[in-house]
A = this chain, B = another copy of it.
Amino acid sequence: MLNLKNFFSPDSIAVIGASPDTKKLVRGRVMSALKNGGYKGKVYPINPSHSEILGYKAYKSLDDLDAKPDLALIAVTADKIPVILGELAKIGCHKAVIYSAGFAEVGEGSKNLDQKLRAAIEKYKITILGPNAVGFFNVAECVAATFSPGINVENPPRVNDGIGRRLVIISQSGGLGFSIYQRAAKRGINVGLVVSTGNEEGITALDVLDQVIDDNMVGCVALYIEQFRDPHRLSRIAKKALQRGIQIIVVKSGRSDASKRAAISHTASLVGNDSAYEGVFNAFGIFRAYDQDEMLDLAAVFTSCPHTKGNKIGIVSISGGGAIWLADACSDAKLILPEFKPKLQKALREFVPPYGGTSNPVDITAQSLHSDGNIRALELIVKAKDVDMLAVVATLSESAMLKKEKPRLKNLARKSNKPIVFCSYTIPNQENLSDLGDCGIPTFSSFVGCAKALKAIYHHNKFRELSDNEKIPVFLPPSLANFKATNTEFDLEGLYKQLKISTPLAKIAFTTEEAITAANQIGYPVALKLQDPNIAHKSASGAIELALKNEGNLRRSFKNITDNTQNKNSPFLVQAMAPLGIDIILGIVRDNDFGPLLMVGMGGTEVEIIRDISFSPVPIGKLAAKKLLHRVSGLRPLLQDSSKSKINISELIEILVNLAQFADSNRKTIEEFEINPLRLFGPGKKALALDGFLRMSSIEEG
């Protein structure tokens, strides 16, 4: 992990190859961005052909410079960079942004150059951002170290000091990162810092994230990620962000096959396993977004609004239709609109005409808008105990609509500990956006986006509480010392016992006669299963026959399986047939990025077709186990009412927690572990593992 202290707020900056051509050249655009962005430190342009650039004294070379720049910005061709890093080290500068492309992202041809760059970084101990980065923009401190046209430095965004917290944008694609910035600034969202990390030969996205979550001014971090280079750190970072009330929002690209084709040629990323990311984001309270506007809807509330512990919303609207639309969207987002108490409704009726509504949503009507109906309604509703957040539906397209009520709005938003937001059904005018921004009130132009953002701020707090209360129960997980590389169902009997998972009565048989004796002891009907460690999926290989009712059936099945599998030495398992129930799959898989993951899903032979599965990093406690079960859509209806449920929920949760701890304590040993099916029965009844499979890492790997 790199120490980024002051990287984004340098005292002085050298621009290597600086140019006065601010239109075409990256080296010129960086100069104008620094100047127009209002950078307050010293700027040292380095260029042998100029004595002055944009009013800054220029130097022929780094050698000529009689000062030690705090940060260097480099936009020369890739091949020259290793030498420049040496020159920087010589004068004591150990931080640099490299805009230049032509390294890992180009493919085979540039591998040599890439190695040279890495060697120079290591040799000269330089912390770099890039290469192939669009730079960074420290909006809060006016350091525009970027050539992005998106920052529009001629007309910089308002820095919303003193109200709310800041958004930090971190992106592995510079174009997308600065486009998110542009959209955020336009919406009046208070952006503190934008960083494009490029090829990440030095600073990674997680380095920046790790640093900014310590900043008290930060309320939200939005990331565009193709691959986390060091994902094992994510757990710790995400937990800390949660504790500090900072929401992390991630767009993780590269889910589809086609996007993987593109990623290889893009930032030299190998795109990680999406199910693993999904599971990790869910476990850590990271919001996964799919669109830019969705990201910014969340960023708007997390940078402006106080957190809330409740999900009850009061809605004030000038339009009956708008009120209904937002009420529907809030209900879809599982927010609750309590019907207001008679006393509150009576107070509202003082200025709401008869054809308006006072119950919630409140339709103040256009008539009452003119007599301060909006702010009067808000001032009344904000006091209601059964209201946790407030939304105003308005039309904000005409200019200067809020000038009159602005002082009261500002006062209300500052004093209230409840989120207050505006949602405009017309396109909001820039002036109104700005006035609401001054009040610390975010504005939405989408009903659905508004409802989802309010849900997210409630969910953030709920997740934090759950996380704070979560205990990992003490459980001594089994050791795997005596296991082979691959293991059959019968080999696992002892393991199941230690994991407190029940199995049907069963016996091992090597011959038909042994099988018949076993079946007589167990009682018909029985299942017959070959125990060959090389056969992971018995059904597909013809290594299993079920519901054998008598000796004749058993003899025929013994022969069938022997023929199907050409079996010579492996024994058979004769097992009591389990009653019908609900089949699920439990598993442990090892992900290259995140280590062992616990898997749970709808089970049976069609698990690959149904694909109703969910993952979680390990270990987990009971609350997280329950959440994980809720993410399996086939299980969800069975979890709604535990008293009526068809399954034994508490035992299942315990099994998940134990299995997760087992996975955690054998994280280098288990390659693959699967119980499929684990058959679930009614409440109070023990689940039965009907088939299983364990593959361990070779000792070399362990």
Contacts and interface: CB of A to CB of B under 8 A. Distances in A.
Contacts of A359: 261-262
A603 B149 CA distance: 58
28 contacts: A105-B355, A107-B355, A149-B398, A150-B426, A171-B321, A172-B321, A173-B319, A173-B321, A175-B395, A182-B426, A224-B321, A251-B325, A253-B325, A256-B328, A256-B331, A256-B337, A257-B337, A259-B323, A259-B325, A262-B324, A265-B320, A265-B363, A267-B320, A290-B448, A292-B445, A292-B447, A606-B644, A609-B637
A102 B355 CA distance: 8
A130 interface: no
A224 B325 CA distance: 10
A642 B186 CA distance: 52
B176 A292 contact: no
Point out which of A339, A354, A646 has the most chain B C-beta atoms below 10 A from its C-beta.
A354
B265 A448 contact: no
B337 A253 contact: no
Given A107-B354, A226-B324, A253-B325, A176 B634 contact: no
A259 B322 CA distance: 10
Contact of A361 (B106, B258, B448, B449): B258
Contacts of A291: 329, 446-449
A428 B604 CA distance: 50
A125 to B, nearest CB: 29
A580 B290 CA distance: 42
A263 interface: yes
Given A105-B355, A256-B327, A361-B259, A322 B173 contact: yes
Contact of A644 (B150, B183, B609): B609
A293 interface: yes
A525 to B, nearest CB: 14
Contacts of A357: 261-262, 264-266
B427 A186 contact: yes
A254 interface: yes
Given A261-B339, A290-B448, A321 B354 contact: no
A263 B323 CA distance: 9
A109 interface: yes
A332 B357 CA distance: 41
A646 to B, nearest CB: 8
A580 B109 CA distance: 63
Interface in A143-187: 149-150, 171-173, 175-176, 179, 182-183, 186
Nearest to A337: B258
Contacts of A106: 354-355
A434 interface: no
Contacts of A255: 328, 331-332
A648 interface: no
A330 interface: yes
Given A290-B447, A294-B448, 19 more contacts: A105-B355, A106-B354, A107-B355, A109-B354, A171-B321, A175-B395, A175-B425, A179-B395, A258-B339, A259-B328, A262-B361, A262-B363, A263-B324, A267-B320, A290-B328, A292-B445, A606-B646, A609-B641, A634-B634
Counting from the closest, the 4 A-B pairs by CB-CB distance are A173-B321, A256-B331, A266-B320, A258-B337
A641 B360 CA distance: 48
A264 B363 CA distance: 11
Interface of A: 101-102, 105-107, 109, 149-150, 171-173, 175-176, 179, 182-183, 186, 224, 226, 251, 253-259, 261-267, 290-294, 315, 318-325, 327-332, 337, 339, 354-357, 359-361, 363, 395, 397-398, 425-427, 445-449, 580, 602, 606, 609-610, 612, 633-634, 637, 640-641, 644, 646
Nearest to A173: B321
Contact of A290 (B173, B179, B329, B609): B329
Nearest to A263: B324
Contacts of A101: 355
B321 A253 contact: yes
A328 B395 CA distance: 34
Contacts of A264: 357
Given A173-B320, A606-B644, A257 B226 contact: no
Contacts of A397: 149-150, 179, 182
Given A325-B251, A328-B254, A179 B426 contact: yes
A176 B634 CA distance: 38
A641 B610 CA distance: 10
Contacts of A150: 397, 426
A234 to B, nearest CB: 20
A634 B636 CA distance: 11
B183 A427 contact: yes
A262 B323 contact: yes
Contacts of A102: 355
A226 B327 contact: no
Nearest to A318: B175
Contacts of A323: 259, 262, 266
Contact of A265 (B266, B322, B355, B395): B355
A545 to B, nearest CB: 17
Nearest to A108: B354
A323 B259 CA distance: 7
A630 to B, nearest CB: 14
A186 B318 CA distance: 23
A319 B446 contact: no
A64 to B, nearest CB: 33
